[in-house]
Structure 1
Amino acid sequence: MNTTTTHGGRTVPPRTVPDTPGRRTPGGFAGAVASEWTKLCSVRAACLCLLAGLAITGVFTFYSASIARINGHPVQPVGNAAAASAVISQFAVVILAMVAVTSEYSTGSVRAALLWVPRRHRVQAAKALVAAVVAFLGGAVFAVVGTAVAWGAFDGRASFDAGTTLGQILAIGVYQALVAVLTVGVAFATRHPAGALSVLVMLLWGLPSVLLGLGGDRLAAVNDRLPHGAGDHFMRVGADAPYTSATAVLIVAAWATAAHLTGLYVLRRRDA
């Protein structure tokens, strides 16, 4: 503005803020994503979770491949060992995505986040997207390291095909990304780390273990409709699956979508 104001009988020129051409503050969903990316990269928990997942994958794949070699199991694709390790390494992704949500509720900083981005669905979607991208990249790295470790531990008891192995690496990354989205939804629904972790451990490990431990075709069919049961069929090659890989991905995606919508409902209905 070019007008002046009067104060105490004096004419005071207005303050002006010089414009900076070409410089814009990101807003909308892009700004929310940038904010969530900055917050996730600024804490050590994310790096620690990824390092823990890497270590778990290395240990598990070495153990799994060694057992298969010692017991003379049939030759299988080397990527199956890395796919099997996802049953444990997925919890590194779970904790990473869970902390991104529940830490803000425990500190109260979620109120500031919702003030900066008033449309709550953008906040949740941004967290889910950032967590999914990190989980996909982390899962792919887990798979590469696990495959390399397993190849040495198998000592000739595994087959290697570049196309198949690359497909499994990408499949493991996709599964970990969907687990991250699932976790963000559950975390927004429960708002507490203990509650979220309890739900996710039961859904991704406890319930499948019980169903497979009890045995029977009906219980196995139920497990095939759970997130990790379907994900295992998607990541593993050569297993006798009751449906196609595309169906398996859709099952995991349906669980992630249901959790996301549940978390969004709670986020909109309850105060931060």
Structure 2
Amino acid sequence: MTTTTPGERTDPLQAVRDTPGRGAPGGFAGAIACEWTKLWSVRAPWLCLLAGLAITGVYTFYYASIARINDHPIEPVGNAAASSVVLTQFAVAVLATLVVTSEYATGTVRASLLWVPRRQRVQMAKVLVVAGVSFAAGVVYAVVGAAVAWGAFDGRASFEAGTALRQILSVGLYQALVAALAVGAAFAARHPAGALSILVTLLWALPSMLLGLGGPALAAVNDYLPHGAGDHFVRVGAGAPYAPATAMMIVVAWASAAHLIGLYVLRRRDA
């Protein structure tokens, strides 16, 4: 029996939080399991992933057909799938954004933070689950895209197993990093329109403007934006100004910055 002294404030959840054992709420494994269950309990993730798959098939067929019709130089078949990332990354970004903002819209974020009081643990669980799903989706997209493009290229592409495998894994890793970046942006904005505005600007609008205006200085700036670096990471023979490992680290830096900004907002503001 627990006794309290007069004037002492009690927390009815403290005994639960302090209960030892593998099944205690707030555990990291439990937080991941919870996020995994929540992710697949609604239709939106399935629709996002299927949309990305459809976009991959259409884009890679178009890319390879144009290369064949215009008699472009022979290139690795994986470049078609790598190029489709400019569009398929938004399927992943929307999925990751909804994982966060849907809880703020419905108020269920309060239940999530009540069950897992350590806010950084909630955010990290979401990042790991969504990034893992996005990596798998990116790998599937790359495989399907390469298969579709191979037929459409009709001899205007080359295939080398090592290069193809590297590009497939690179596309998966880039999609995972985009998902991590999107989770951070969603926690910072807390609203789907705000988060998606940030992501569209960063991943598409700003790069398009810089490349559209032209000039080496603006192109150099684009090389250090997430998609600019990601494109150098996933494509082969694109004339990158740095090594693929450097390109990956640039995208990691952007995802990490978004994660930290989102965590700061999550800790500072009430749910």
Same fold (TM > 0.5):
yes
| 2:266 alignment partner AA | L
| 2:125 alignment partner AA | A
Aligned equivalents of 1:207, 1:61: Cα separation in 2 = 24
Aligned equivalents of 1:257, 1:53: Cα separation in 2 = 24
Aligned equivalents of 2:227, 2:61: Cα separation in 1 = 21
TM-superposed CA distance for 1:187, in Å, is: 0.1
Aligned match of 2:201: 202
Aligned match of 1:69: 68
Aligned match of 2:226: 227
Match of 1:25 among 23, 26, 35: 23
Aligned equivalents of 1:77, 1:94: Cα separation in 2 = 27
Aligned match of 1:165: 164
Aligned equivalents of 1:96, 1:116: Cα separation in 2 = 23
- What's the secondary structure of 1:43's corresponding residue? coil
Aligned equivalents of 2:112, 2:249: Cα separation in 1 = 32
| 2:202 alignment partner AA | L
Aligned equivalents of 2:185, 2:247: Cα separation in 1 = 21
Q: Alpha-carbon deviations, 1:220-257, whole Å to 9, x = none? A: 00000000000000000111000000100000000000
Aligned equivalents of 2:100, 2:71: Cα separation in 1 = 45
Q: Does 1:38 find its partner at 2:45? A: no
Aligned equivalents of 2:261, 2:219: Cα separation in 1 = 27
- What's the secondary structure of 1:241's corresponding residue? coil
Structure 1 residue runs of 5 or longer lacking an equivalent are 2-22
| 1:173 alignment partner AA | G
Q: Alpha-carbon deviations, 1:47-100, whole Å to 9, x = none? A: 111000000000000001000100010000000000000000000000100000
Largest Rg, 1 or 2:
1
User: Please, what is the CA RMSD of the aligned residues?
Assistant: 1.1
Aligned equivalents of 1:43, 1:142: Cα separation in 2 = 22
Q: How many residues align?
A: 251
TM-score by length of 1: 0.91
TM-superposed CA distance for 1:24, in Å, is: 4.9
Q: Alpha-carbon deviations, 1:156-182, whole Å to 9, x = none? A: 000001111011000000000000000
Aligned match of 1:217: 216
Q: Does 1:57 find its partner at 2:50? A: no
| 2:177 alignment partner AA | L
Aligned match of 1:118: 117
| Identity value in percent | 75
TM-score by length of 2: 0.91
Structure 2 residue runs of 5 or longer lacking an equivalent are 2-20
